[in-house]
Every structure is written in C-alpha cells, then in structure tokens.
Chains A and B, each alone.
Chain A
Amino acid sequence: MMTSTLKISALTKRFGDVAALSDVSLAIQPGERVALLGHNGAGKSTMMKIILGLIPATSGRVEVCGAMPGSATARAQVAYLPENAAFHPALTGLEQLRHYLSLRSEDPGQAQQLLDQVGLGAAARRRIGTYSKGMRQRVGLAQALIGAPRLLVLDEPTSGLDPVSRRDFYALLDQFAARGTAILLSSHALTEVEARTDRIVILSGGHLVAEGSLPALRRLADLPVALHVTARNGYAPALMDALPGAILVGGALHMACPQSEKLALLGRIAGLGDKVADLEVLPPSLEDIYSHFSRRDGQ
C-alpha cells in the first residue's frame, strides 16, 4: 500500500468571521502533481501555509510525510515557494542560495548549479535588489529545488514567468515527480498549469468544488460543444433548414450541443454530404471548464 505524502481531512480555517477554508479534504501520493486552482481569495495560500505549519488550522487534520505540519520532520522534507517570494536585497542570488543550502545541511557549492538550472546563472553575483520580479521568482524556484524534498508546495510558481520559462519549469517539476516528489502548486488560471499536472483541485470560496484529472473534469462539467459548419456556395439556407438551432455568422453556421449528443449531430452533418464545405468542432476551453466549477459554488 502506498502512503500519502500529504493527507488533509476536514480542514477548516477561519480568520475571525472569514471562513478561508471549509471542510477541505485532500490526499497527494508520492510522484503526483496536483494543481490547486481558484480565484483570488479562494483559500489557496491559506491552505499551503497550514500545510507548512506557518499558521494553525481552526479544525481538521493535516499530516505531512507522516508528521505534524511544521514539525522538524516535516520541515526537513518539504520545500516551499511563497507567493511573491522575497529575499534580502543586499544579498546576491548566489549568497542567498548558499545560505539556504547550509540551512538544509547541503553543500553550499551547489548554489551556482541551482541558479543555472533556473536560468539565473549569469546574474548569480548580482544583488537581489537589482533583480526583476521574474528573477526573484526564479531564486524562489531554485531554493525550492534544494535537496530531495518529498513534498513541493509552490504558491503561484508560474506567475511572472514567460511561456518558455514556464515550460522549462514544468520540465523541472517532471524530473522531481519522476523521483517520487509529490507536488502541490497553485494558480488562478487553468491555462497557466498547461495541463501538465496529474490532478486538478478547484477551490471556490474556501470549498473544494471539484477534483480530478483534466479529462475527468471535462466530462464532469459536461459543457456544450460548439460546432461551426461552413456551407458550400448557395447551400446555407438548406443547411439552416436541416440544422435547427443554428445561427448564421459570417457565412458559417454556429451551433452548440451537449457532449452526449455530439456524435449524433456529427452523424447528421456528415449525412448532408457535399452541401458542407467544412466542419469545425470546438471543445469547451480550459477557461470555460474552470469558470464552470469555480463559479458554481462561489460567492
């Protein structure tokens, strides 16, 4: 039997009257990459801070690598990238990384290599005070990669990264996951996680509203599929008769149907033969799926 790296059950956190998290349960297995999605204020950062033992939970149970959050055992095996990672501006990237390596009892000599890995090699000897936001974010990533953490907790790791660095970042994560590191990363947009995760967890107003792989969420959302049919010259009226519910937009017929009727509709369109010049099937976008879940139970 595999033991979960992270186990959360019935977690609730209140700040005075604000319920930041309500009855959230979640487990992450070794090597699993989980994306935590939600609008601003959904409770993502709060959940991560509780996992790290930075703030106490109001109720519920959290177990990190079999230990209490924030215990010495847990801290030795968990790495964190805070939202808006900040460092002392007077230190250079290299000095900051050497410091973090020492705190983890690792060889400070690895600092340069870690900075190279996140594309900061050239700026290693410059003070962090001169870094851009994206560069500070990379220092944050570099320190999270120190040693062999069993759990990576990354709060909006891709914010401030350009698309190419974002891809490199996910490639780095894949290496860690392959070695058995469980990964929990947050984002406020489904497009940002680029479907490079095994499982998606959507928080809305502190409630866990959906959980599953992207295809599973797609099925669960059951959002209508859009179809665009282009008629061969002169056949548009005939197609309009054959496909009730379609509307004519710039010479093409636009229509939508539930997932379950998609194949039947495609069959009917195929039956129209050479009256049809072209057919385009547009599945619901990532943003559509995400909005569907994050609004359903939201404020």
Chain B
Amino acid sequence: MITPRRILATAATEFRIARRNRWVIIAMALMALFALVLTAAGSAPTGGLGVDRLSVTVASLTSLAVYLVPLLALLMSFDAIAGEVERGTLPLVLTYPVSRAEILLGKLLAHLAVLGLAVGAGYGVAALAALLTDAGSLAGMPALWRLLWSSLALGATFLGAGYALSSLARRPSGAAGLAIGLWLGLVVLYDLGLLAAVVADNGGWFTTSAFPVALLANPADAFRLFNLSASAATAAASGVGGAAAVIPLWQSLVSVLVWPLVALALAHAAFRRVIP
C-alpha cells in the first residue's frame, strides 16, 4: 500500500537535506549560468530563419539539457541508497511502517523538485532574454513548456537509473563510478557510436531501420528527438536533429513517457534486494 503521507514526509526531509547540502542552489546556479552563456552565444539576428527567438533558444536549451539534466539527476541520486547504507541509516528506516516503494518515491519527488527549480531557473533566464529581444517570441511558449516537462521526465529517468545503480553498488564510491559510466555511455558515447555506424553504413539498412529505433531506445536521444521534432526550429539544430524529421512525434513522446516508469521499476527491483 502506497500512502501519500509517508511519501510526502520522506520527500520533505530529502528536500531539506538537498537544500542543506547546497544542492538546490548549486543546481539552479549551474543551469542559469549555462543558459546565460547559451543566450549570449546565440544572440545573432535570427530573422533569416523565419522563426522566433524563443524557439531558437528552446532548440539550444534542448542540446544543453540533454547533457546537464542527466548529469544533475545522477549526481543527486547515486548516493541515495548507497549513502544510507554507508551511514548506517537504512536499517532503522526499514523497520518503520514505510515501504521501499514509498521511500523511493519520496526521494524521487524531492530530487525532481530540485531539478524543477534548476531547469526552471535556467530556462526562465533564457526565455526572459529571448522575450526581451524579440516580441514575437511568445510563439515559442508551447515549445518552452514542452521542454520543461520533458526535462523533468528525462530527469526522472536518470534519477531512477541512479537509484538502481546506488542500490546495486552498496557503496557511494562504487555508485559514483557507475553513474559517471552510465552518463558517458548513454549521453556521450552512444551518439558517437551511432554516428560512426551511420557513416560506415552509408545509407544502408542500419540508417533506415536500426538507427531510428536506436535513437528511441535511448532516453536522452528520445528527449532530444521529441523536443526538436515538435519544435518549429528543427532547422536550427544540428546533429541528431536531422533524424527528427523522419521519426513520428508520437514515437518519441512514448519513449519520453515510458522511460521514467522503466527506470523506476528497475530502481525498485534493485532496492528490494538490498539487505541493510
């Protein structure tokens, strides 16, 4: 039985810990800083593209979020279980009338709130800059909103993955290594590998059949696809963005929505096997 009261109690305590550990302020400052840099770098006139400034900003924020949101999520979650095991706080809480699912959901809620504040600050700063320089930017508001909630879905996926690794590793140092490995693998190396395969394949079976599936199977790529194919600014994006044109929007939407559930199920399965 899942009880909101116990989830909220856990979330409130976890959020308080995140605030005390400066996670909230660090995450917000980091996102805002990168968003500002992006805004400054992309301040050239966009008239030639025929799209509003905010849509262009959303496209560049998407590329930023694809790296930073998973990174922040993994940094916040790798310690979630392993840290409790190491501190010795887990046995006691597991004797309370609270289920492991409730504990995980409480942590997820708190960490999602931190992520929400961070992307809210970053996207807010960038959107404000776009609105101030281009009155037509209001046309880009739906794209911004989509980026915001899909960033949280992406965050939830990597938070869940982080909890799973944290449960498997049992020690924070081991969990940190696994988390960095996952980030490098899914966010950096995966795309490089795909790119290399596409180049070698030269328009063959891989490019037409396997490549779209491979993109959808990776939560970070699905997130990018979803935001770029839904956005009017596809042309403004580079790299994987080109593939967005051929993959239907609903497919990337399903991937974006299903991955958090899969990751949380994995986290729960791994956490259940932890003997304190």
Contact B13 A91 (CB under 8 A): yes
Chain A residues near B275: list those with CB within 8 A: 54-55
Contact B87 A86 (CB under 8 A): yes
Size bin of chain A's contact surface:
20 to 34
Chain A residues near B276: list those with CB within 8 A: 54
Binds A, one of B26-34, B95-103, B113-121, B174-182: B95-103
User: A173 at the A/B interface (Cβ < 8 Å)?
Assistant: no
Binds A, one of B15-23, B192-200, B213-221: B15-23
CA distance A178 to B14 in the complex (A): 37
Contact B9 A54 (CB under 8 A): no
Give chain A nearest CB distance to B17 CB in angstroms.
5
Contact A87 B89 (CB under 8 A): yes
CA distance A291 to B149 in the complex (A): 66
Contact A85:B16 (CB < 8 A) given known A72-B97, A90-B21, A102-B9: no
Size bin of chain B's contact surface:
20 to 34
Contact A103 B95 (CB under 8 A): no
Chain B residues near A87: list those with CB within 8 A: 89
Binds B, one of A76-84, A158-166, A241-249: A76-84
**The 6 nearest A-B residue pairs measured at CB:** A102-B9, A86-B88, A90-B20, A80-B95, A103-B96, A76-B97
Residue in A54, A75, A80, A102 whose beta carbon sits within 8 Å of that of B5 in the complex: A102
Chain B residues near A167: list those with CB within 8 A: none
Chain B residue at smallest Cβ distance from A95: B16
User: A296 at the A/B interface (Cβ < 8 Å)?
Assistant: no
Taking CB atoms and an 8 Å cut-off, the chain A residues in 84-112 that contact chain B are 84-88, 90-91, 95, 99-100, 102-105
User: A133 at the A/B interface (Cβ < 8 Å)?
Assistant: no
Taking CB atoms and an 8 Å cut-off, the chain B residues in 1-45 that contact chain A are 1, 5-6, 9-10, 12-13, 16-17, 20-21
User: A203 at the A/B interface (Cβ < 8 Å)?
Assistant: no
Most chain A CB within a 10 A radius of its CB, from B13, B21, B89, B98:
B13
